[in-house]
Copies of this chain bind each other. A is one copy, B any other.
Amino acid sequence: MKELTIHSNKREEFIILDQKLQSFIDESNVQDGVLTIFVPHTTAAVTINENADPDVTRDIINHLGKMVPHHAGFSHSEGNSDAHIKSSLLGPSLQCLVSDGRLVFGTWQSVYFCEFDGPRSRKIFLKLVEEK
């Protein structure tokens, strides 16, 4: 298992992980398998979406904020229930395919760490299971 550390700079921010993921695959020497990305936090998530136009991730962050406002009469006293809800909506874990030693993506896809309660230092855990 590999542990990455990343730093978010805003309360809500999507950070591309592709290069860090590919470096881990390169180090592991695995040619074919499934990479699991696991976020060990309850106010963050991991997703895949478009990397060409940064307006796409801005639209995602803004619209999630309409669906789950920062303050909406929540009970949890820390004031970050919106971030907990978004974490479960996008999910803390994601699987990517590895073929011929490369992450398999569609043309416009990148993997994003989704910060919903930053800025903070965050961890990401990676595990690569080889295909027989």
Question: A: which residues have CB within 8 A of B?
Answer: 1, 32-34, 36, 38-42, 47-50, 53, 55-56, 58-60, 62-64, 66-68, 72, 74-78, 81, 84-85, 87-97, 99, 104-109, 123, 125, 127-132
Contacts and interface: CB of A to CB of B under 8 A. Distances in A.
Q: Is the interface of A mostly helix, strand, loop or mixed?
A: mixed
6 contacts: A41-B106, A42-B56, A47-B88, A58-B75, A59-B81, A90-B91
A111 B79 CA distance: 22
Contacts of A75: 55, 58-59, 62
Contact of A59 (B49, B53, B64, B74): B74
A122 to B, nearest CB: 10
B125 A104 contact: yes
Pick from A32, A67, A130 the residue with the most CB of B within 10 Å. Answer: A67
A129 B60 contact: no
